[in-house]
Structure 1
Amino acid sequence: MSVVVPCFRCAATIDDAVASIAAQTLRPAEVLLVEDASGDDTLDALHRVAAAYGSDWIKVIALPANRGPSHARNTGWQQARHPYIAFLDADDSWGPRKLELQMAALAADPDIALIAHQMLVRPRGTELPEPRSPADVQIVSRTTLLVRNPFPTASVVLRRDLPFRFDEDFRRSEDYLLWSQIVLSGYRCAKIDQVLAIWNRRENGAVGLSDDFDAIHRGRRDLRRKLVRQGLLSKHEFLFASTIGMVNRMRRELLRGLRRYRSRRRPRP
């Protein structure tokens, strides 16, 4: 098992991310930290972490120019040496039995090409409850991918030899596009119905790419069009998925408007 971690200006969070990898009950064979030309002290932090755990286990890959998380993940994917790859973002954390349960599920059903699990947003340092064993593994249908993205990137383990990669022209929803290509091409994909990792809640009002909902909507519209061009999505499926996307956008706008309305009505001290 190889673990690929794209790293961009993550000096403050990379220690926690790598610690959650090192704490796995099934320790991966290698960790690839791909530094995406942050222009700050991130590279120094990665070398410090690698030295602490051993350069025979952690490999730091320094990219010459910033090209985004898709290129960073693809670079790690290319240099990975083991049959399965797990992805972790540098500001997230895994529960200690994540890889153990996923690899057990893959051993029980070797035809699975990709397996993920649930994640929750929690404050940094939150401990996950002890997962149930054996894990309840559910095969993810084609229809599910038309409705939503069921595979958080930091939850995914996939076969290294899959003939797909992250689309480096997509800055948002690039993960959703890749998972859709895999599922819609007929590969068997699954999800464990348990929370085995967390998105660490951002502090001090920090925002990221995932907070720009208008850009996400445009990205998902573009990915649906690309799937049609690739012959992976029929016109009927395209219309169905587009309708679901529009409904979700309207719902999000309604909730955003209600929050603004309530904040204006809130009495000032």
Structure 2
Amino acid sequence: MTSPARAARISVLIPCYDDGEHLAEAVASIRESEPVDVVVIDDASSDPRTLSVLDGLRDGEATVVSLEANGGPGRARTLGLARCTTPYVFPLDADDLAEPGVLAEMADRLDADPGAAACVGDILEFGKHTLVRAVPTALDPYRVAYTNEYPVSALFRRSTLDALHGWERTSTTLTGYEDWNLWMDLAQQRERIVHLGAGRIGYRRRLHGPRLNATAKTRHAALYRAMRADHPYLFEQIREHRRRSDLPPHKKLLFPLVYGARARWPMEERLKPWADRLGWWTGASRA
């Protein structure tokens, strides 16, 4: 007698806009010992190579959802979320790579801890340089109020995403920082996360060319103002969050000065990677 197919616990959402160069590799990187539903959201691509890759994926490797107008990755992820039925959801950018076997491990952690909203791991950056970027082990409202040290790609509990309307933004028509906005949502709701453990990779982030987050940084002040307006309770309680934060005292003092809405100073983008590699500020190390 043939046993029934095991139902998937996990959906991977991959928004794609003219990124056929990397999309097939992103899909192929999802290698698990259990079934995983892969949903690719074509955000109105027009590049012939991308359209060809999307056509190939429709043959069975993934469900492809095609959007008529480009709305950015946050909107694409949210629309893809509506096509999922699994209890856990993992967003993955089309130019990044999943870490084989880690999704099932994350799902097991969430199965064992029903009160956790998401499971994260550290980030392996590759391309321009190679290093492991440490992700905080807990969701710290004080830290996330000023900067985003949390990953785009984490395993989220589907019910939590539904309650927060996914990656939707309502206070601005600007695109960008949708992942940071979601982490602020979770922090404002006092949600809790679990971490796979120090050095355990959650996904691989490709560094190449001007990624969308770099474009968003050109609108940093406007996007940050909008996020502050969207999270009044988070910022009203900032003194209490500061007291409870596990940051060392000097970082508690410096976070509002180093991050927040301040303008970027000259040479910052060139110097920051070197500080990261030395682990001076972000807890990163060479891979």
The answer to whether the superposition gives a TM-score over 0.5 is: yes
* Residues in 2 aligned to 1:83 and 1:19: alpha-carbon distance in whole angstroms: 22
One-letter amino acid of the structure 2 residue matched with residue 197 of structure 1: Y
Q: How many residues align?
A: 238
User: What is the aligned partner in structure 1 of residue 63 from structure 2?
Assistant: 59
User: What is the aligned partner in structure 2 of residue 118 from structure 1?
Assistant: 122
Whether the 8 Å contact between 1:118 and 1:195 is mirrored in structure 2 is yes
For residue 233 of structure 1, give the secondary structure of its aligned residue in structure 2. helix
| CA separation of 1:250 and 1:220: change in aligned 2, threshold 3 A | closer
* Residues in 1 aligned to 2:34 and 2:223: alpha-carbon distance in whole angstroms: 36
One-letter amino acid of the structure 2 residue matched with residue 148 of structure 1: T
Aligned: 1:77 with 2:88: no
Written as runs of structure 1 = structure 2, the 5 A alignment for 1:45-194 is: 45-51=53-59, 54=60, 58-123=62-127, 138-154=137-153, 156-162=154-160, 163-164=163-164, 165-168=166-169, 169-192=173-196, 193=198, 194=200
User: What is the aligned partner in structure 1 of residue 206 from structure 2?
Assistant: 200
Runs of 4+ in 1 over 4 A off after TM superposition: 235-238, 249-252
User: What is the aligned partner in structure 1 of residue 268 from structure 2?
Assistant: 256
* Residues in 1 aligned to 2:14 and 2:27: alpha-carbon distance in whole angstroms: 9
Whether the 8 Å contact between 1:86 and 1:158 is mirrored in structure 2 is yes
Residue ranges of structure 2 left out of the alignment (5+ in a row)? 1-9, 243-251, 272-287
For residue 34 of structure 1, give the secondary structure of its aligned residue in structure 2. strand
Whether the 8 Å contact between 1:33 and 1:60 is mirrored in structure 2 is yes
Whether the 8 Å contact between 2:11 and 2:89 is mirrored in structure 1 is yes
Whether the 8 Å contact between 2:13 and 2:38 is mirrored in structure 1 is yes
One-letter amino acid of the structure 2 residue matched with residue 211 of structure 1: A
One-letter amino acid of the structure 1 residue matched with residue 53 of structure 2: A
Whether the 8 Å contact between 1:94 and 1:198 is mirrored in structure 2 is yes
- Cα deviation per residue 1:195-234 (whole Å; 9 max; x = unaligned)? 23211121xxx21222243323432232122211xx3430
User: What is the aligned partner in structure 1 of residue 20 from structure 2?
Assistant: 11
TM-score, length basis structure 2: 0.72
* Residues in 1 aligned to 2:152 and 2:54: alpha-carbon distance in whole angstroms: 21
TM-score, length basis structure 1: 0.77
Q: Give the CA RMSD over aligned residues.
A: 3.1
Residue ranges of structure 1 left out of the alignment (5+ in a row)? 130-135, 260-269
One-letter amino acid of the structure 2 residue matched with residue 208 of structure 1: R
Whether the 8 Å contact between 1:4 and 1:32 is mirrored in structure 2 is yes
The alignment-based identity, stated in percent, is 25
| CA separation of 1:235 and 1:139: change in aligned 2, threshold 3 A | closer
Q: CA deviation at 1:97?
A: 2.4
* Residues in 1 aligned to 2:47 and 2:270: alpha-carbon distance in whole angstroms: 39
User: What is the aligned partner in structure 2 of residue 247 from structure 1?
Assistant: 258
* Residues in 1 aligned to 2:270 and 2:109: alpha-carbon distance in whole angstroms: 43
Aligned: 1:219 with 2:223: yes
| CA separation of 1:109 and 1:178: change in aligned 2, threshold 3 A | same
| CA separation of 1:88 and 1:139: change in aligned 2, threshold 3 A | same
Whether the 8 Å contact between 1:140 and 1:191 is mirrored in structure 2 is no
* Residues in 1 aligned to 2:51 and 2:150: alpha-carbon distance in whole angstroms: 29
User: What is the aligned partner in structure 2 of residue 234 from structure 1?
Assistant: 236
More helix by share: 1
| CA separation of 1:44 and 1:75: change in aligned 2, threshold 3 A | same
